[in-house]
Amino acid sequence: MSEQNTYLPYLMTIEKVIKEAPGVKTYRLKFQDEAEAEAFEFKAGQFGEYSAFGEGESTFCIASSPTRKGYIECTFRDSGRVTSGLASLEEGSTMGFRGPYGNVFPMEEWKGKNLLFIAGGIALPPMRCVIWNALDLRENFKDITIVYGAKTVNDLVYKSELKEWSDRPDVKMVTTVDPGGENADWKGEIGFVPTIVEKVAPSAENTIAIVCGPPIMIKFTFPVLEKLGFKDDQIYTTLENRMKCGVGKCGRCNVGKLYICKDGPVFSKEELNLIPAEEY
């Protein structure tokens, strides 16, 4: 029978392990099967099911950019049975991956526009994929602004990349930590992400805002953007509801008529208005 088993993962080798923050790691993964590597394609915004054999599967976005070929990356926090199983793996170990799943950021439509990235905490990974995608095709976009915040300096992920972005003349990079989360060397902003956005955001004119963060941050950032003149079709986010299958069957991520895993995870605010906010 030619039918594929959706639940059978690709086997991946962990090529590189980067410690990002306490409990947070990034893995660079390579397909063990060359034909699978060849055939694999994804776009910014998609996610997958990553498995630690012996523990189970967990859902994260693909954190690397589709412009970087030959590997995928994922960033996760050691916070449950599966992620702690993943975190205990070493370079060279085998893990599983199913995907790519879900829809994509409409980057083609964003050509010629300014991009405003807003991310909080461990939600930078889905954004990082889009940021690198945009930076690798820099000529397609006008001004690029990144606002990234975390609870404390320690909790900021991709620290070397944050520096790389802030050193680039063609990126306006703003990092912030919650009040009390700063240390003696901290040179960035101090304050919650929505507050900082209000302070540093570019004009809403010809700008797309991409917001990624915990539900609470998203809910407080939307009104700020609205105040700044952003229309609902200029605001995008990516949701991370609990998922098991990733392909619209297991029922967990069903919110209103939509399935986050299939209709999302990327939504414009215009689309989000169609589903009840209390359920994501």
What residues line the site for another protein (CB under 8 A)?
Answer: 1, 3-9, 11, 51, 53-57, 79-81, 83-84, 92-94, 96, 214-215, 240-242, 244-245, 247-252, 254-257, 262, 276, 278-280
Between CA 113 and CA 131 the distance in angstroms is 14
> Smaller CB distance to another protein: residue 270 or 279?
279
Whether the bond between 265 and the residue before it is cis, its omega within 30 degrees of 0, is yes
- For residue 129, give the DSSP letter: H
Between CA 143 and CA 206 the distance in angstroms is 10
* Min dist. Cβ of residue 273 to another protein (A): 13
> Smaller CB distance to another protein: residue 9 or 45?
9
> Smaller CB distance to another protein: residue 59 or 234?
59
Closest CA to 241 of 232, 250, 230: 250
* Min dist. Cβ of residue 251 to another protein (A): 3
* Min dist. Cβ of residue 247 to another protein (A): 4
* Min dist. Cβ of residue 18 to another protein (A): 21
What are the backbone angles phi and psi of residue 221, rounded to the nearest 5°?
-80, -35
Between CA 245 and CA 66 the distance in angstroms is 23
Instruction: Tell me the HSE value of 169 on the side-chain side, using a 13 A CA sphere.
Output: 0
> Smaller CB distance to another protein: residue 66 or 96?
96
* Min dist. Cβ of residue 151 to another protein (A): 13
> Smaller CB distance to another protein: residue 137 or 274?
274
> Smaller CB distance to another protein: residue 13 or 268?
13
* Min dist. Cβ of residue 173 to another protein (A): 26
* Min dist. Cβ of residue 53 to another protein (A): 5
Tell me the two tokens of residue 50: 């990553």
Question: Helix H segments across 42-184?
Answer: 81-87, 124-136, 159-167
Strand bridging mode 72-77 / 24-31: antiparallel
> Smaller CB distance to another protein: residue 83 or 207?
83
Tell me the two tokens of residue 240: 């991370």
- Direct distance between the N- and C-terminal alpha carbons of the chain, in angstroms, rounded to an integer: 38
Q: Which residues contact 155 (CB under 8 A, 6 or more apart)?
A: 21, 22, 24, 121, 177, 181
